[in-house]
Amino acid sequence: MIRMARQPDADWVDTLDDGDTLLTGEAVSLDLRPAGFALRAGSAAIDVVASILVFVALLIGGMTTVGWLRLEAAWVNVVVISSLVLAFVVVPCLVETVSRGKSLGRLAVGARIVRDDGGAAGFRHAAIRSLVGVIELVMTLGGLAALVGLLSPRAKRLGDHLAGTYAQYERAPRVPTPVFGMPLELVGWAPVADVARMPDALARRIAAFLASARDLDPGRRAYLAQQLAFEASAYVSPLPVVDPEIFLAGVAVARRDRETRALGLEAQRLAALEPVLTSDARR
């Protein structure tokens, strides 16, 4: 039988080590990288310049329309106020909502606005950020946003604090998926192992655990390995006498090798049938 790991002595509780880490339902730690202050400042500068250009375009269009229609002078104030609201509140809010947290500046620096729990931000979050942004970025020339961002661990401005959002950096380097070989303890077991009955969903959970095991703390890693090994033991025969994590690695490699052989045989059969299929197609 599988030699299961000892249960942790203390109660096992899922907790976050810091504000930038979340746990999935599989207790896999997700490293969410907030955009730094410099990136946020650059993004805000690009967005403000874009809003100014939109404001100028709306102002020119509105003034041209007022002059062409020969409206009263009071309409000039209406055009100016409407252009300000559209350029600095409505358009940024719509862009951020439709693009799910993106904008021209954030697209340039590789950032996205997300909720504090890592989920996608919606219209409510974009509206709050846009309204508060008028005070932070326009009325104070970015001074208030810079002050709050410097004092915030995630470089969050006041609008982010009120909306419950932050800027997540999305250009982190990809970590290559580790390739496992058959553990030495299971080399003799592999030729006779039967893993064909294992469900695909359980196999994917095991693969996800093995890929992220090095990022888990020892207690949680042992606990998850034990639980997954217990589930997998019902679909594996014979059962080797090894530690749970070694058993999971062996099962994953045996299943991968089995699928590789199956794909190879299928490719050989298709290659053998290719002349027949080609001749039938020519007729």
What digits encode the pLDDT tens for the residues 214-239?
A: 888 888 899 999 999 999 999 999 99
210 has a pLDDT exceeding 70: yes
Query: Model confidence at 7, in pLDDT bands (50, 70, 90)?
Result: very low
pLDDT tier for residue 164 given thresholds of 50, 70 and 90: very high
Please give the model's pTM, rounded to 2 decimal places: 0.54
Predicted confidence (pLDDT) at residue 14 exceeds the cutoff of 50: no
* Burial of residue 67 (number of CB atoms within 10 Å: 0-12, 13-18, 19+): exposed
Closest CA to 8 of 249, 226, 247, 228: 226
Give the pLDDT band (50/70/90) at residue 10. very low
253-261: average pLDDT = 85
